[in-house]
Amino acid sequence: MVAELISVGTEILLGNITNTNARYLAEECAALGLSCYTQVTVGDNPGRLEEAVATALSRSDVVILTGGLGPTEDDLTKETVAKVLGLPLVEDPHSRQRIEDYFKKGIHRPPTDNNWKQAMIIEGCQVVDNHNGTAPGLIVTTAGEKQVILLPGPPGELYPMFEEAIRPFLEKLTSQIIYSRTVKIGGMGESYVADQIQDLLENQTNPTIAPYAKIGEVHLRVTARAATKKEAKKLIRPVIRELKKRFGKSIYTTRNEVTLEDKFISLLEKYGLTVTTAESCSGGLLSGRLINVAGASDVINRCFVTYANEAKQDLLGVKNSTLRKYGAVSPQTAREMAKGAARAAKSQVALSVTGIAGPGGGTSEKPVGLVYIGCYVKGHTEVIECHFSGNRQKVREGTVARAIDFGRRCVMKYGK
């Protein structure tokens, strides 16, 4: 079964936003066993969108459109798809009531006239409720038994809607069961991971392994096709065992929904430990990512952003002599930051980060991207040296991911 993705929005064409929706949907289609040969991005132009939809329907079994479901005049995805299919738009009382309730409970003002545009649906379609916004999703089955799926553009609305309703719908269209598990590996690059499993990639048939590079980690999605879910799980099991044998403790989970920070926080909870952070170049990004985890307040009581040397001394007790002799970006400073943070917060675990995020400030001895990460766990302190590439944001994000994975490894080593 062939799927095609159409992303709608002039802002995507102009590069004003990154099209993360297409990447997400492409991965999901691959996991469902759908062949995705074409992706199209179209601006807010009804003529060009009409042509894109008609072309997609001529060559694909499933067409997924994202964006253009808003209340403004340039949001024309529904209208254009309805025109291509020769179907009218009708008001859906259920969607109208949901829009009214959304404004009453969340925004505390009446909807404007243009908001009712979002209650208009393509006649005969299946309406998918939006629990995070006002634009419902639509599923239209054409006379030729093809599926046209319309989804809202904001990722915070699209992702939950796909997971709750669209994925189960698409699963029912395939003749076989498609089952996937994701092996998540921290602290390793994509090229290294791919090299370690090259033999598996070259000889794979069913199940298949698909590597996905993430910031600071690599995901291996193992997917099997079978007549039943039980048979698919049986096919996947030996592959997971082999990957665990090759990557060991670098694998932090095989559950799709678990993130690196989820795993780190759960380890702290398991061992009854609290954690603090002491950040320089990451500037609070590390603590912010940890606090994204529900229940993080059980293991985090305070964190430190010590960008200036004075802050490192005043809040963490880093020695002036250490800073003068080795500099703020040094393994010695990272070590003292971790110890000092643990002491100041009365925590059993502390992560420290100090480095040069760029674009300026680097030297031949200490180039941009050089970062030292320290971890203190119950009297044991370790420091690692890292070198990251890319712009300032990429260096900071890479630092945070590596720090969390380093903390996870140290807690497994010393936290019991």
The class that CATH gives domain 180-253 is alpha beta
Pick the CATH number of 2-171 from 3.40.50.300, 3.90.700.10, 3.60.20.30, 3.40.980.10: 3.40.980.10
In this predicted structure, the answer to whether residue 197 has a pLDDT above a threshold of 80 is: yes
3-state SS string for 57-116: HHHCCEEEEECCCCCCCCCCHHHHHHHHHCCCEEECHHHHHHHHHHHHHHHCCCCCHHHH
Average confidence (pLDDT) over 76-80: 97
Burial of residue 394 (CB within 10 Å: 0-12, 13-18, 19+) is middle
The verdict on whether omega for the bond into residue 207 sits within 30 degrees of 0, i.e. cis, is yes
Q: Does pLDDT of 30 surpass 90?
A: no
Q: How far is CA 88 from CA 35, 123, 416, in A?
A: 30, 6, 64
* Average confidence (pLDDT) over 193-222: 94
- What pLDDT does 173 receive? 87
Q: Are 367 and 356 in contact (CB under 8 A)?
A: yes
pLDDT in tens, 400-410: 999 999 999 99
Q: Express the helix, strand and coil content of the chain in percent, nearest 5 each.
A: 45, 25, 30
- Hey, what are 380's tokens? 């044991």
Q: Is 166 left (phi over 0), alpha (psi -120 to 50) or beta?
A: alpha
- Average pLDDT estimate for 29-46: 91
Which pLDDT score, from 0 to 100, does residue 256 have?
Answer: 87
pLDDT in tens, 123-168: 999 999 999 999 999 999 999 999 999 999 999 999 999 999 999 9
If you average pLDDT over every residue of the chain, what do you get? 95
Calculated CA dihedral for residues 197, 200, 201, 206, nearest 10 degrees: -140
Residue 335's Cβ-count burial label (10 Å; 0-12, 13-18, 19+) is: buried
Reported as a pLDDT band with limits 50, 70 and 90, residue 116 is very high
What is the predicted pLDDT for the residue at 110?
86
Confidence of residue 344 (pLDDT cuts 50, 70, 90): very high
pTM: 0.76
Structure confidence at residue 76 as a pLDDT band (50, 70, 90)? very high
Question: Encoding tokens for residue 287?
Answer: 């603590």
Residue 278 near residue 304, CB atoms below 8 Å: yes
* Pairwise CA distance, residues 268 & 413, whole Å: 12
Contact 341, 383 (CB under 8 A): no
* pLDDT value at 194 more than 90: yes
Q: How confident is the model at residue 414 (pLDDT cuts 50, 70, 90)?
A: very high
- Furthest C-alpha separation in the chain: 78
Which has more confidence, 1 or 399?
A: 399
The CATH fold assigned to 260-414 is Maf protein (3.90.950)
Query: Residue 105: pLDDT band by 50, 70, 90 thresholds?
Result: confident
Which ranges of 221-273 would DSSP assign to H, the alpha helix?
229-247, 260-271
Instruction: Calculate what percentage of the chain has a pLDDT beyond 70.
Output: 100
Helix or strand (DSSP H, E) at 47: helix 46-59
State whether residue 251 is helix, strand or coil.
strand
Pick the closest to residue 357 from 286, 260, 292, 408 (CA basis): 286
Q: Which residue has the tokens 């297409």?
A: 22
Q: Render pLDDT for 276-328 as a digit per residue (tens, 0 to 9).
A: 999 999 999 999 999 999 999 999 999 999 999 999 999 999 999 999 999 99
All structural domains of the chain with their residue ranges: 2-171, 180-253, 260-414
The pLDDT score that the predictor gives to residue 51 is: 98
Single-letter residue type at 270: K
pLDDT of residue 176 exceeding 80, the answer is: no
